[in-house]
Structure 1
Amino acid sequence: MKKLLFILSFLICANAFSQILSSNLEKKTLALGEVNSIIVTINNLHNEKVLAAPKNELLPFHFEEIKDSIAQNPDIYYRKIEFSVYEEGKFTIPELEFKVGGQVLKTIPYEIEVLNTAQKADQINDIMNNKEVKLEAKDYWELYKFYVLAALAVIALIIAIVMYMKWGRKSKSSPAVATNQTLKELDSLKKKKYIEEGNYRSFYVELIDISRKFITKQYHLPADVLLTDDLIDLMKKNNTISQENEKVIADVFLRGDLVKFAKTFPDKDSMEKDFADVRDFVKRSSKDLEFENLRKDA
């Protein structure tokens, strides 16, 4: 008798402190797309954490989960999953696992039959007859306004590109821009103090290189590829550069060639003068271009 009481007491205590899982399926037969639900409840948690598949991932792939609601307090875990099935046939919801502490609890499996309730002989009627609707200009605008706006945007983009190609690029290579850029390069050369240090070779190499690039850009003459004699001859035939500027270029370039081949050794005064002459030539170049434009207009 004592043994029986002990066993009963043990079973009652074990049941009181163990978790109890229950599950309930709302319907076992469904129409295609009909909403069904399964509810899982776990009691006697005693603050234990419940681990299970994440939301919308508990059921097999045949079941389209619509809503997965989870609620939990220190003693109860509640989960309701609403789902639909879009294929005919019989499908099984397998045992669903829930881990509570070190214990794994499982639901019972459920079998669901899904039926297509539409019959081939069923006649489908419209709720009401088709009605012809007259569209006005406003209606057409609402229908096609995005296409019209897109077309206008493309046209505007094309016009902007054409304008940039025609005028934008020219402004960047305008005489004033070329002049300012070259004056900055000459200032950078001055800061290198080649004149003060007597480094005449480096000075003339860079001075002539800057000048050649400027003539090429400002006067559109191939100064960057021609030899000095050929460039001087072309300038005289071209008549774009004034005689005063031609003389500066000829004197500086010829002296630079002599320095390059170590045939002359200029002093600081000569180097200062050549630098100043080239700088003045760059500043005066706009007058050459103004005169050339007037000559063309005439």
Structure 2
Amino acid sequence: MKKILFILSFLICGNAFSQILSSQLEKKTIALGEVNRLVIKIDDIHEMQVISAPKNELLPFHFEEIKDSIGQNQNSYERKIEFSVYDEGKFTIPELEFNVGGKILKTIPYEIDVINTAQKADQINDIMKNKEVKLETKDYWELYKFYILAALAVIALIIAVIMFIKWGRKSKSSPVVATNQTLKELESLKKKKYIEGGNFRSFYVELIEISRTFIAKQYHLPADVLLTDDLIEVMKKNNTISQENEKIVEDVFLRGDLVKFAKTFPDQATMEKDFADIRDFVKRSSKDLEFENLRKDV
């Protein structure tokens, strides 16, 4: 009798301190992508730690876990998993292990049938027929305004580039700019007082150099590379420079060559006159160009 009581007491104590694991699967047949739920519960854990696979890693590969929540208090442990399957067929949730204070508890396996609810023979009907809508001008504007504005911006940019290439660069080398620059260079030459000091060679070298550069820029003649005789011949054939200005250039350039080679020694009055003539020639050059443009138009 004592032995029977002892065995009953042992069984009662063992059951009192044993854990009870239960699991519940909401659906065993689901459609592709449908959400299913698995709930695992362990009772009588008596504040022991429950160890299992990390969150979102409990189920096998084909099961796409959506939500994995774990709840635990002093006496119970609960884990709720929401999942979907995106492949058609039969899939198994194997035994899932839970370590409760060193004791391994396992769930029962589940087999899930995943079906495709859309059949090839199914006829898909529109809820309502498409309705034709007549678009007005403002509707087309709202649809295509960004494309139109972008096209206009590109056209404006192209026009601006063309205008810059055609007129922007020319403005830097326009007749007025070349004239003003040369007049400044002549004024700088005068301030060197070559005339007053009788330094006629330096005076004519710089005067002719300034004049050659000006003719090359203003009249687009190769004055900076041609000899004096060749330049005079080109000017007469070109007819761009007026006869009055052409005569001044010829006289001053020929006299300058004689001075450079020490064949003549001009006085102060001659140098002042040559300087004044070249300055007047530079000032009158714009009239030569105006006449040339009119001649081309005719």
Where on the TM-score scale, by shorter chain, does this alignment land: which range? 0.5 to 0.7
Note the alpha carbon deviations across 1:2-51, whole angstroms, 9 max, x for none: xxxxxxxxxxxxxxxxxxxxxxxxxxxxxxxxxxxxxxxxxxxxxxxxxx
CA distance in 1, matches of 2:129, 2:191: 85
TM-score (norm 2): 0.52
Q: Comparing 220-229 with 267-276, which one deviates more in the overlay? A: 267-276
Deviation at residue 145 of structure 1 after TM alignment? 2.8
Is 2:85 aligned against 1:119? yes
TM-score (norm 1): 0.52
Partner residue in 1 for 2:252:
252
Instruction: Give the letter for the 2:205 counterpart.
Output: V
Partner residue in 2 for 1:107:
none
Deviation at residue 227 of structure 1 after TM alignment? 0.4
Partner residue in 2 for 1:284:
284
CA distance in 1, matches of 2:141, 2:178: 51
SS of the residue corresponding to residue 117 of structure 1 reads strand
Deviation at residue 286 of structure 1 after TM alignment? 2.4
Give me the identity figure in percent: 77
**TM-aligned CA distance change 1:116 to 1:187, over 3 Å:** farther
SS of the residue corresponding to residue 84 of structure 2 reads coil
Deviation at residue 297 of structure 1 after TM alignment? 4.2
> Where do residues 1-298 of structure 1 align in structure 2 (5 Å cutoff)?
117-120=83-86, 121=114, 134=133, 136=135, 138-298=138-298
Deviation at residue 140 of structure 1 after TM alignment? 4.8
SS of the residue corresponding to residue 259 of structure 1 reads helix
CA distance in 2, matches of 1:136, 1:245: 71
CA distance in 1, matches of 2:146, 2:173: 39
**TM-aligned CA distance change 1:145 to 1:293, over 3 Å:** closer
Deviation at residue 262 of structure 1 after TM alignment? 3.0
Partner residue in 2 for 1:94:
none
Instruction: Give the letter for the 1:156 counterpart.
Output: A
CA distance in 2, matches of 1:130, 1:211: 88
CA distance in 2, matches of 1:206, 1:241: 22
Deviation at residue 249 of structure 1 after TM alignment? 0.6
SS of the residue corresponding to residue 118 of structure 1 reads strand
Deviation at residue 136 of structure 1 after TM alignment? 4.0
**TM-aligned CA distance change 1:221 to 1:139, over 3 Å:** same
Structure 1 gap ranges (5+) = 1-86, 89-112
Instruction: Give the letter for the 1:154 counterpart.
Output: V
Instruction: Give the letter for the 1:283 counterpart.
Output: K
Deviation at residue 132 of structure 1 after TM alignment? 6.0
**TM-aligned CA distance change 1:149 to 1:247, over 3 Å:** same
Deviation at residue 160 of structure 1 after TM alignment? 1.6
Deviation at residue 154 of structure 1 after TM alignment? 0.8
Note the alpha carbon deviations across 1:219-239, whole angstroms, 9 max, x for none: 222111110011111222222
Deviation at residue 258 of structure 1 after TM alignment? 2.1
Note the alpha carbon deviations across 1:232-284, whole angstroms, 9 max, x for none: 11222222222221221111111222222333333332222111110011112
CA distance in 2, matches of 1:174, 1:201: 32
Deviation at residue 205 of structure 1 after TM alignment? 1.9
CA distance in 2, matches of 1:152, 1:169: 25
CA distance in 2, matches of 1:194, 1:268: 10
Structural RMSD (CA): 3.5
Instruction: Give the letter for the 1:177 counterpart.
Output: V
SS of the residue corresponding to residue 240 of structure 1 reads coil
Instruction: Give the letter for the 1:240 counterpart.
Output: T
SS of the residue corresponding to residue 270 of structure 1 reads helix
**TM-aligned CA distance change 1:182 to 1:132, over 3 Å:** farther
**Number of positions where the alignment pairs a residue of Structure 1 with one of Structure 2:** 187
Structure 2 gap ranges (5+) = 1-63, 66-78, 87-113, 119-125
CA distance in 2, matches of 1:284, 1:262: 31
CA distance in 2, matches of 1:283, 1:226: 23
**TM-aligned CA distance change 1:132 to 1:178, over 3 Å:** farther
**TM-aligned CA distance change 1:142 to 1:264, over 3 Å:** same
Instruction: Give the letter for the 2:230 counterpart.
Output: D
Deviation at residue 212 of structure 1 after TM alignment? 0.9
**TM-aligned CA distance change 1:183 to 1:135, over 3 Å:** farther
